[in-house]
Chains A and B, each alone.
Chain A
């Protein structure tokens, strides 16, 4: 498709313009990330002196060594992995067990049950009442406080439900039931295998949400089992005034500060990279996923 016969001069000219604009946008988006990456391998003094723009300068692994030697960061990382794995499984299971029954057009009460869920999309109890209920149900300090209050992600549930309705042949489900499969059995061995693309997209969405979450953890975990973003908060959001003064004076204090600055870059990379590796695998399904939701909202 890159070369069609009717391609005239004006098309070539517009190709150049389009590609140029896209390249500029691409650089604007990519450069800040690239800068953090090269800074994480560079001497912080060089970074602050403006010597690190295109390539790392004063190449060093010290930052990463310090990050992986820091027990708080390591335990934050492991906590995040744990919450992400359990949370993703929980969320996807919840989505599926809600969406599948609601995709059955002949289920008595389907409309009302759907409304019951959809209503929570538009109206909620708000921060404090929810907080009080989580507290009163004894979830404070437990990792289940990160999963249970979220319940069913209703927007995503609608996307999955529409996918079940529109993309899985109803005949197939009926046939399998007539041949003696129970509704559970049909769900497990016919519907789930046929819905892999949407499952993959939903799993990645859930994964990203749990990996990046810190607010829920901050208010419900009470400082125990902090996930990585919360540990990062201590590293990144510290008042910079102290570190600036420190950078003015030389000696041991400044040396310590240098490490702190380097750790900032490295810890951001450690927090961001896992998700940046994951999403391109399901990228081709994004559009489909969104359109499935847009068909009947």
Chain B
């Protein structure tokens, strides 16, 4: 922080000006800050155009969208698209797959970063610790495309690494029973290390005196983890769990779409992929918007429930 000695000093006149500013009218304050508002101009315009106008466009879920008529002038059809979706032959399959991938994903992926960071935090060899962290973060920086390419190659029935190790010739990606495992395991491989950061940062705040005191009392590393680290992590872990539960309908589109084959669709067919296929590939704009909105609506309900639980939990846990 050498730069904090930049050659700017508060002069006597300066501090006089400082005391005057509170007496200014709103108009003057707006004028004083015109440069700050100018900075905000472009971000605000882009947000209006590419975030708020699409929100306004959601109404095409209730209309029969005609590109020539635009968002507001197309014919109103009420909930037709929604009922059509509910009657779609794959509706229940997609609902089930979306929820199950998320639910099992959460169940398996959630504890891993916590356990990893508890272990890494106790390693006393700093260079080794840094190497471990660097390597664990690496997969997070790799494109989903490359990850899926690796999955395809590793699981290939001929010469794939996994089949070589098992001595088998199974085509895992054509087996619907294997899809969730592939999806979740590769997800843990890619992001568990990255997920440690927030927990490691929390653990870095533990008062070193606590560890010293525990050592004096003869506490082993595992007792220290149990009695100092875990209670320290708990609020953050609960918060993360609650947030994740709120996003249970948000199955990432990219990986599912890339790994989906006709043969594993029984478990890989999810709403996000359907929204893309109907909306972009087949240009059924209104129908796709309705399906997407249905998904969002469930998410919002979940988020509200989860927020309620969070505020209750915070009474118990956080205070």
Chain A residues with a Cβ under 8 A of chain B: 1-2, 6, 10-11, 14-15, 18-19, 21-22, 25-26, 28-30, 32-33, 35-36, 47-50, 94, 97-98, 100-102, 104, 106-108, 113, 116-117, 120, 122-134, 137, 148-152, 169, 171-172, 174-176, 178-179, 181-184, 187, 190, 193-194, 208, 211-215, 219, 229-230, 232-233, 235-237, 240, 244, 247, 264-265, 268, 271-272, 275-276, 278-280, 283, 286-288, 290-291, 294
Contacts and interface: CB of A to CB of B under 8 A. Distances in A.
A127 B279 contact: yes
Contacts of B136: 25-26, 29
Nearest to A103: B36
Contacts of B82: none
B176 interface: no
Chain B contact residues: helix, strand, loop or mixed? helix
A29 B55 contact: no
B232 to A, nearest CB: 14
Interface string B59-79: 010000001000100000000
B201 to A, nearest CB: 4
22 contacts: A2-B125, A6-B215, A15-B123, A18-B122, A19-B125, A47-B159, A100-B36, A102-B40, A125-B51, A126-B275, A126-B296, A129-B54, A132-B285, A152-B46, A175-B14, A211-B143, A213-B143, A244-B156, A272-B142, A279-B138, A287-B204, A290-B198
Given A152-B46, A193-B3, A124 B54 contact: yes
A280 B13 CA distance: 47
Contacts of A106: 29
A230 B49 CA distance: 27
B55 A129 contact: yes
Contacts of B309: none
Contacts of A286: 137, 197
Chain A contact residues: helix, strand, loop or mixed? helix
A14 B50 contact: no
Nearest to B153: A264
Given A129-B55, A176-B8, 14 more contacts: A1-B126, A19-B128, A21-B119, A50-B164, A98-B40, A106-B29, A113-B40, A125-B54, A172-B6, A184-B39, A229-B146, A247-B159, A278-B141, A290-B201
B222 A124 contact: no
Contact of B47 (A22, A123, A152): A152
A211 B142 CA distance: 9
B108 to A, nearest CB: 15
Contacts of B4: 169, 172, 194
A130 B251 CA distance: 19
B17 interface: yes
Contact of A128 (B132, B146, B288): B288
The 3 closest A-B pairs by CB, nearest first: A125-B54, A48-B159, A129-B57
Given A1-B124, A179-B14, A276-B138, A229 B143 contact: yes
B242 to A, nearest CB: 13
B37 interface: yes
Nearest to B198: A290
A108 B33 contact: yes
Nearest to B161: A35
Interface residues of B, number: 103
A151 B29 CA distance: 28
A181 to B, nearest CB: 8
B319 interface: no
A22 B49 contact: no
Nearest to A48: B159
Contacts of B154: 32
Given A129-B60, A182-B35, A275 B142 contact: yes
A131 B276 CA distance: 11
Contacts of B18: 174, 178
B50 A149 contact: yes
B145 A232 contact: yes
Contacts of B60: 128-129
Contact of B39 (A97, A194, A240): A97
A268 B14 CA distance: 59
A25 B132 contact: yes
Contacts of B143: 211-214, 229, 232, 271-272
B107 to A, nearest CB: 20
Nearest to B189: A29
B123 A19 contact: yes
Contacts of A176: 6, 8
B225 to A, nearest CB: 10
Nearest to A21: B119
A131 B148 contact: no
B231 interface: no
Given A35-B161, A126-B289, A29 B141 contact: no
B134 A280 contact: yes
A122 B274 CA distance: 22
B145 A214 contact: yes
Nearest to A102: B40
Interface string B16-46: 0110000000100110010111011011101
Given A107-B36, A125-B53, A151 B46 contact: yes
